[in-house]
Structure 1
Amino acid sequence: MDKYDRLILTALIEDGRLSFAELARRVNLSPPAVAERVAKLESSGVISGYQANVDVSKLGLPIECMIELRIATHQSHSSLAALERFPELTSCYRVTGDACVIMHAAVASMNELQSLIDRLSEYGASKTSIILSTPFNGRVPTSLLQPGNGQH
C-alpha cells in the first residue's frame, strides 16, 4: 500500500458512497486510476465490503447491550450456529478470557432483553452490559493508514 491507497481508504472509511470522480478529486488521481486501485483493494481483501450504518433506535430498538456468554458445552460450533438464529443479536465475537463469545444485541424493551437473556441461559452463563452511548464505532486504527507502518 502506498500513500494513494491510504488516502483512498481514509476517504472511503469516512464515506463509503463516494463516487470515483469525487474520490479522484480528493486524492489527486484520475477516476480510472482510483477505480483500478479500489478494485485491487477489494480483490486483495483490504476492502471487505460496504455497509450502511443504521440507528437501530429509530427502528424501535432503543435498548442496546453487550452480552458475554460462557458456553457451557463443548459443542461450541452448534451453540454458535444456534446463536446466529437469535434475531436480537447483531454481532458475535469469539474471544479469549472468561467469556467464549461477546455479542451485541438490540431490543425494544426491558421485557425483551429479559426474554433474550433467559433464552441465552440454555447455552451457558451470561453477563449483560447496557450500552449508554457510543462515543465512536467502526473506525480503523489511524496508525494503519500512515506511511511506514510495515504494510506493503
Structure 2
Amino acid sequence: MAELDRFDRLILEALQHNARLSGAELARRVNLSAPAVAERMAKLERNGVIRGYQAVLDPAQLGYPIQCLIELTLYRADYPHAQATLAGFPELIDCHRVTGDACMVLKAAVSSMAHLQALIERLTELGGTKTAIILSSPFTGRVPPWPVEGAST
C-alpha cells in the first residue's frame, strides 16, 4: 500500500471529483506549486495509485438504455477460457470474479430486451445465468475511505 500524505490525499480527492482540472488549478486547490503537484501526480501514477484518467460515458445516451447485472455460474471452472470469451462481448462493461454461488458478476449495457435476451443466450454457452435489471444507480465509482493513521489493517 502506498504511503499517502495530506497533500496526496487532497490531490486524489480533487481528481476524483474532476480529473480535467488543470495543473495550475489543482495546485491552487491543494496549496502547492504546479511543479510540486506534477511531481506528486507522477509518483502516484508510477506507484499505481492513479491507474488512469477517463471520461465517464452515459450508456443510455449512446443507445444502450438498459443496464443489468448478470451472475454467471460456469459449467466448467476454466476461468482463462471464460475471461477470454467474455472479453469479446462488447455489451459487457464490467466483469468481476467473485465468491459465493456465482463464479462471476458481469455488468452489461444493451439496447433492448431482445438484445439482452440474445446476450443471455450467448452467455449460457459458458454457464447458468441470473440477471437483475438496474433501475437506478444513486452513486457509482466511489473509493473506500482513507485508512486511519496508525491503525493496522
Deviation at 1:149, TM superposition (A): 6.4
Q: Is the 8 A contact 1:72 1:125 kept in 2?
A: yes
1:59 aligns with 2:39: no
- Residue in 2 that maps onto 1:126: 129
TM superposition score normalised by structure 2: 0.93
> 1:79 is matched with which residue: 82, 91, 113?
82
Q: Is the 8 A contact 1:69 1:99 kept in 2?
A: yes
Alignment of 1:44-55 (within 5 A): 44-55=47-58
Alignment of 1:15-26 (within 5 A): 15-26=18-29
Q: Which sections of structure 1, spanning at least 5 residues, go unmatched?
A: none
Q: Which sections of structure 2, spanning at least 5 residues, go unmatched?
A: none
Deviation at 1:150, TM superposition (A): 5.1
Alignment of 1:91-110 (within 5 A): 91-110=94-113
Alignment of 1:27-38 (within 5 A): 27-38=30-41
1:92 and 1:132 mapped to 2: Cα distance?
Answer: 19
Deviation at 1:75, TM superposition (A): 1.8
Q: How many residues align?
A: 149
- Residue in 2 that maps onto 1:148: 149
Deviation at 1:74, TM superposition (A): 2.5
**Identical aligned residues as a percent:** 58
- The 10-residue stretch of structure 1 (69-78 or 54-63) with the greater mean CA deviation from structure 2: 69-78
Pick 1 or 2: higher relative contact order, CA cutoff 8 A, min separation 6.
1
1:52 and 1:94 mapped to 2: Cα distance?
Answer: 25
SS of the residue corresponding to residue 135 of structure 1 reads: coil
SS of the residue corresponding to residue 87 of structure 1 reads: coil
- Residue in 1 that maps onto 2:16: 13
Letter in 2 for 1:69: L
